Homo-oligomer: A and B are copies of this chain.
Amino acid sequence: VQASGIHHLGVAVEDLEEALATYERLFGAEVEHRATVDGQGVRAVSLRIGEGRVELLEPLGEDTPVGRFLAKRGPGMHHVAYGVADVRAALAELTDAGADVIDEAPREGLFGLQVAFVHPDSVHGVLSEVVSAG
């Protein structure tokens, strides 16, 4: 896949409002979107930091992907998302390139984005996402 850039950095946090206040105070972050997604077990805020973007993710409970991540590793960077033109085509190319994809087909991510995840074992320990708008 030829990615267009880093779409966002996903960060797992214990308290969304506290973390949001920190990013506003330290780095001049501005809120772009907010969402609570029961199906994914997260409350999320998308932040713009200049031209960059950080997604803060607070789990809705311990038995959710982000909740289990926090229990195991503590708060911190959770995933990196690369922009691509077409997630379906990207998934085919990633599979052809030998990557272990978590999502066989694109799914709806936060904020109306089409997304798919690549297993961290295929990217030297980095949970990696490909994302396209709409």
A residues whose Cβ falls under 8 Å from a Cβ of B: 1-6, 9, 11, 13-14, 18-19, 22-23, 25-28, 49-54, 73-77, 80, 82-83, 94, 97-99, 118, 120, 122-126, 128
- A122 to chain B: which residues have CB within 8 Å? 22, 26
In the assembly, how many copies of this chain are there?
Answer: 2
| A interface: dominant SS | mixed
Among A26, A97, A120, A123: residue with most chain B CB under 10 A: A26
CB distance from A26 to the nearest CB of B (A): 6
Q: Report which of B26, B49, B50, B74 forms a contact with A99, defined as CB distance below 8 A.
A: B26
With contacts A3-B49, A4-B50 taken as known, whether A76 is within 8 angstroms of B125 at the C-beta atoms is: yes
